[in-house]
Amino acid sequence: MQNKKPEKRKVTYMFKGGPGTYGKGGKQAVADDFIEIPQNANIPTLPYTTSISIYHRKRKPKFNYNNTLNILLVICVILIIALKFFLDSYFTTVHEKNFEDLISKLCFAFIASYIFYNIVTKTNDKLKKREAYAVICGLNDSIITQSSSVQKYLLKGAGKDDNTNLLKMSKEDFKTLCSEVDLNAIPNGHQTNIANLIVHNGVNRIKFFADKIFTYMPFLESELIHQINQILNSKFSIFIIVIPYKQVPNLKEFSLELLEFFELINQLESYNNKLKKKYLKNNYEKKIL
């Protein structure tokens, strides 16, 4: 009986480590930084990470525009009262009267502009922003819901209970859970496997709702932009496309990236609750199916 020779596998190792210098005196690559993919895998586009620069503006003493306008309003009111009731006798000549009249008109013009700014412009801007956040907060909720789908499929693939709290697990326990995920398993009621469900019903839907949020760019808080960008540029979001093509059908190499992803979603949920309190105090929830 002849011994069968072991079949040779042709594989490609894709490096998912962050940008920087590796080797002696630099970063050290570990086994989980490499994803084993069959050489004949037809991946549409290979993801890669680039370094991201963040520019910090040097903080200057805070200039409060609204307080300045309020102070000028008080000065104008005091000047008008003083000119009309207390200092009127000091202006006797024609030139002095003209000067008094000019100051009064300027003060009245500023008061009229101030009233117009507060009643029309400022109130209208606040109304538009509240209307925008009625949609934005709903889109944030959709991102959070889709991340729950990622968690649900992850637990289904590992054969765990749906109520398992992933964020309370230690890194080692979470890595063990990820190594138990069967990406090829097809859950009941679905026509595709866990890998494609995580990609298409989870992360791709998150990207879809994030793009919808950015259409409201003039109204977005800087912190919200920062948090959404963190989620979209997380390693898990970038490298998710290779999951259906992995040689070993589990998520062991993605344990740290998944934990970071769920933590970012948790931060977004906390911040979204703050936005609701700030902009949607008198709103009620209306679900659109």
The two structure tokens encoding residue 111: 């008061």
Q: What is the pLDDT of residues 192-228, one digit of tens each?
A: 999 999 999 899 999 999 999 999 988 899 899 999 9
Collapsed DSSP state (helix, strand, coil) of residue 189:
coil
| Ranges assigned E (strand) in 16-166 | 34-38
Q: What is the pLDDT of residues 120-175, one digit of tens each?
A: 777 777 888 889 999 999 999 999 999 999 999 999 999 888 788 887 888 999 99
**Residue 57 neighbours by CB under 8 Å, 6+ apart:** none
**Residue 52 neighbours by CB under 8 Å, 6+ apart:** 233
CB atoms within 10 A of CB 157: 25
Higher pLDDT, 286 or 68: 68
**Residue 143 neighbours by CB under 8 Å, 6+ apart:** 206, 209, 210, 213, 228, 231, 265, 268
Residue 284, CB half-sphere, CA atoms under 13 Å: how many? Answer: 1
d(CA 27, CA 160): 35
Partners of 14 in the β-ladder? 35
Mean pLDDT across the chain, nearest whole number?
84
Q: Examine the pLDDT at 284 and tell me if it is beyond 60.
A: no
Only one residue has tokens 């968690």, namely 151
Q: Which of the four pLDDT bands, split at 50, 70 and 90, describes residue 11? A: confident
Please tell me the predicted confidence (pLDDT) of residue 3.
Answer: 60
Only one residue has tokens 């500023």, namely 110
Higher pLDDT, 147 or 282: 147
Q: What are phi and psi of 180, to 5 degrees?
A: -90, -5
Instruction: Write out the H or E segment, with its range, that includes residue 276.
Output: helix 255-279
Q: What are phi and psi of 27, to 5 degrees?
A: -70, 155
The two structure tokens encoding residue 108: 């009245």
Please tell me the predicted confidence (pLDDT) of residue 289.
Answer: 45
Return the amino acid letter for 73.
L
Query: What is the distance between the terminal CA atoms of the chain, rounded to a whole angstrom?
Result: 65
Q: What is the residue extent of each domain of the chain?
A: 15-51+121-279, 65-120
Only one residue has tokens 């995580």, namely 198
| Ranges assigned E (strand) in 162-288 | none
d(CA 144, CA 149): 9
Classify the phi-psi angles of 25: left when phi > 0, otherwise alpha if psi is within -120 to 50, otherwise beta: left
Collapsed DSSP state (helix, strand, coil) of residue 109:
helix
Q: What is the pLDDT of residues 80-131, one digit of tens each?
A: 888 878 877 777 788 878 888 888 899 999 999 888 878 777 777 788 888 9
- Picking from 133, 169, 151, the residue whose alpha carbon sits closest to that of residue 271 is 133
Q: Which of the four pLDDT bands, split at 50, 70 and 90, describes residue 29? A: confident
The two structure tokens encoding residue 41: 């895998």
Return the amino acid letter for 256.
L
Please tell me the predicted confidence (pLDDT) of residue 251.
Answer: 92
CB atoms within 10 A of CB 17: 15
Return the amino acid letter for 280.
L
- Picking from 109, 113, 126, 151, the residue whose alpha carbon sits closest to that of residue 236 is 151
